[in-house]
Amino acid sequence: MDVTGPQGTFSLKDRFRGGQTGFCAEDLAAALKGSLGKDPVSHYPVLTLRGKRTLISTASALASVDGKIVRLQESPAVIEGCLWLPTEFLTAVLPQILGGPVVVRGAEAKAPLAEGKVPPKGEAKPEPREAQAPKGASVSVEAEVTSDSVRLTLTGKDAVLADVAQGTKEIVVTLAQGGLTGRLQDVGAGIVDGIAFNQGGRTLKAALGPGFKRLESLKLRGPDRLVLLFKGEGQRVNPPPPENVPAAPETADAGAVPGGPPKKTAAFDTVVLDPGHGGSDTGATTDGGLQEKDLTLILAQKTAAMLEKAGLKVILTRSTDTQVPLVQRTAIANYNRADLFLSIHLNSSPAASARGTETYFLSRNATDLWSNQLAAKENTEGAASGATADSGLNLVLWEMAQTSYIVESSVLAETIQQEFNTLLGTADRGVRQAPFVVLEGAQMPAVLVEVAFLSNPDESKRLTDSAFQDQVAQGLTQSILAFKARYDKPQTPPPAS
Amino acid sequence: MTNLKRPRRRAEVILLTAALCALLASCREAPKAPPPGAEQAAAPAAQTVTAPRTLFYPEADDMLLAPCPVVVPATGSPQQDMAALIQRYLAGPPGDGQVQPFLEHSTLRALFLVGSEAVVDLTGPVKSGGGSATETARVYGIVQTLTYNFPDVKSVRILVDGQEVDTLLGHLDLSRSLPPEPRLVAGSAGAAGDAQ
């Protein structure tokens, strides 16, 4: 394709992705004598041209030119070592860099979508540009009510792009593309007094109740969705009508089931167990040939059987000796809307004397640092684009999802430690915190338990004993049921006033 | 009220000091019995400037990080001094109370500063051998050592062979810069296993 702009004309080699025309960012950088690097905070690619810095999201169809957010119709992606950008990048982003119009010939250039500006609080809500969205691009809407929040989830086939405008009495969500589908149950009153949208329409309105305090938004993947969390003092709910809950998929492969995520009741009923390591990643090993990956799978399977007997749906992130990427493990839990994520590991130390059980939840120190870096960055970008700092559209990285569940996760970790102390009599190494990859993306209470030390000769021997494995599974089952009992309690609707 | 609290506070201070001394004593380098006065006599001839530093290695049983005092060369350049400190760290603890979390032949490839972030580039078998306790000790041993000795360093990013890595042994997220984690340090408030 030929690109003509204020700097003259240059050529870019066409690159295709799923039938879409695009080009490599590397080629554009070379043509304009710029550079392509990485943002130190988000790790997103940064294209620097003519002294202007463009942050490119590979997780969604967004780019940020010197802090000003521009939406694209197609998500950039890394393909065969090339950072693929859609052709519309040249007409939507490049003019802002070069300071003049850009014309593309020899390729189909698409018109850019609206910029992602969010009106400040109290401003008039934006009107949708189209009454109906194009066919086949639906975004399903679901609402879930907890004791202190209302969670609204918009799930699309691709990244859900939306303007979120917060007024004093309502929050208006306007989709950039796609039509809204779904049927919401009565969400009660208090934080959100009602949610309304037209089937196939692009605008959704949530009426704010007196208990509303703040709005948090998360962009998540696997599947792509936008989660709006209305936080407040308390939501009054009516008991939900009986509902047939579809059976949970049996294996991790369930994450790819077409037709969207399984339906979910408000009750605690789904647990994802994650047997650590697998495939070529053996985890810790012993001179005698024991491998952590084999033992964690046995422990997870035994625990799953006990939990299922107790009436819970259990999903394993792997049920065979296969390698599952760490981020995919939590994605499986998120997709299946699990109420709890438990990663099972065995420890190893250079000191053979090290022994006992320890349970980890995500480190707040690390997440605080990342949050601060991200917040500072977003505030800077927000100021540059004219958006307010407390606007509803926060581009929160999905990796930060677990921060909302840290308190519950710490309770779960304590519960497991107590159960192991009383049931197994293993040495209590206590609850610890660290930034473990497998916990970061979980949208539910999530912990990683190191059952015992494979490097300790005594514990290593016990771990191969079937009776001890049963005891471990029993300990984990009791912990989860104890946590479920605690979790279920606040779900009980208050007496009608 | 103040008078009543004072003896308890004094007792706490004494206990804390005793605990710190015990920790320090456990990793002190075994004396190599130089002749009396030899160190003082040799120093001016070698023209070597040194500085006292503290390394943090995991204790054998609970794998919490404990301080070990050492003396390492000092150049006045923070970057070079940090590199010297990490090279010393990778050589292993001086005493018997702590364990070396790194495998033999793990070495420092490069170290550089980006603002308040120290980037530590390691090479050798740093991605093999061990579980989460080992991985946590490796990573936070370096993070704690650098941030403790160089207060301007607020976080540490670990690279392997010049490349960013997601994790060393399949647990910790190394895709971002890590601040110190005080709960992993022995004797600190909230450390695992501490009596509350």
pLDDT confidence of residue A222? 64
Answer yes or no: is pLDDT of A173 > 80.
yes
Q: How far is B97 from chain A (nearest CA, A)?
A: 11
**Measured between CB atoms, does A221 come within 8 Å of chain B?**
no
| E-state strands within A80-148 | 82-86, 103-105, 138-145
DSSP codes joined into one string, A368-418: HHHHHHHHHHHHHHHHHHT--TT-S-----GGGGGGGGHHHHHHHHHHHHH
> In chain B, which residue's Cα lies nearest the Cα of A355?
B61
Q: Give me the pLDDT at residue A449, please.
A: 95
**pLDDT tier for residue B60 given thresholds of 50, 70 and 90:** confident
Tell me the pLDDT band of B189, cut-offs 50, 70 and 90.
low
| Chain B residues lying within 8 Å of A355, measured CB to CB | 61
Q: How many CB atoms lie within 10 A of CB A182?
A: 17
Whether A450 sits inside 8 A of B155 (CB atoms) is no
**Range with the poorest average pLDDT among A34-43, A459-468, B151-160:** A34-43
Interface contact A438, partner B, CB < 8 A: yes
CB atoms within 10 A of CB A233: 13
**Average pLDDT of span A217-240:** 69
Task: Determine the pLDDT at residue B190.
Answer: 58
Q: How many helices (H) and strands (E) does chain A have?
A: 10, 27
Asked if A345 reaches chain B (Cβ–Cβ under 8 Å), the answer is yes
For residue A363, is pLDDT > 60? yes
pLDDT reported for residue A370: 52
pLDDT at A274: 97
Asked if A345 and B132 come within 8 Å (Cβ–Cβ), the reply is: yes
Measure the CA–CA gap between A397 and A219, rounded to whole angstroms: 7
CA distance B4 to chain A (A): 33
Find out whether A90 and A22 touch, Cβ atoms under 8 Å: no
The mean pLDDT of chain A is: 75
**pLDDT value at position A396?**
36
Q: Is A283 on the interface with B (CB under 8 A)?
A: yes
Asked if B39 has any chain A CB less than 8 Å from its own CB, the reply is no
Mean per-residue pLDDT, A205-214: 84
Selecting from B60, B61, B136 the residue whose C-beta is nearest the C-beta of A434 gives: B136
C-alpha–C-alpha distance, residues A312 and A248, integer Å: 10
Question: Helix-strand-coil percent breakdown of chain A, rounded to 5?
Answer: 25, 30, 40
Cβ within 8 Å, pair A436-B62: no
pLDDT of A495 > 70? The answer is: no
Lowest mean pLDDT, pick from A103-107, A121-125, A142-146: A121-125
CB contact under 8 A, B184 and A434: yes
pLDDT score for A265: 58
- Measured between beta carbons, the chain A residues lying within 8 angstroms of B183 are 432-433
Provide ipTM, 2 decimals. Answer: 0.75
Cβ contact, residue pair A276, B170, below 8 Å: yes
Between CA B73 and CA B80 the distance in angstroms is: 9
**What would the pLDDT profile of B81-113 be if each residue is shown by its tens digit?**
999 999 999 999 988 888 999 999 999 999 999
Model pLDDT, residue A455: 93
Tell me: the pLDDT tens digits for A248-281?
333 333 333 344 455 555 688 899 999 999 999 9
pLDDT of A313 higher than 60:
yes
Among candidates A396, A270, A277, A276, which has minimal Cα distance to A333? A270
Give chain A positions within 8 Å (CB) of B173. 366, 435-437, 440
Question: To the nearest whole angstrom, how far is the Cα of A427 from the nearest Cα of chain B?
Answer: 10
Contact A434 B60 (CB under 8 A): no
Residue A310 has a pLDDT of: 95
Instruction: List CB contacts (< 8 A) between B172 and chain A.
Output: 434-437
pLDDT tens-digit series, residues A341-356? 999 999 999 888 888 9
Residues from chain B contacting residue A350 (CB–CB below 8 Å): 99-101, 130, 134
pLDDT band at A403 (very low <50, low <70, confident <90, very high): low
C-beta separation of A249 from A263 below 8 A: no
Chain A interface, best mutation among B171, B181, B196, by max A CB count within 10 A? B171
pLDDT of the residue at A54: 84
Lowest model confidence (mean pLDDT) among A193-202, B1-10, B88-97, B183-192: B1-10
Closest chain A CA to residue B132: A347
Q: Does A370 touch chain B if contact means CB atoms closer than 8 Å?
A: yes
Q: Is the pTM of this model over 0.80?
A: no
**Among residues 77-136 of chain A, which lie with CB inside 8 Å of chain B?**
none
Tokens representing residue A323 in the block: 């390698």
More confident residue, B153 or A52: B153
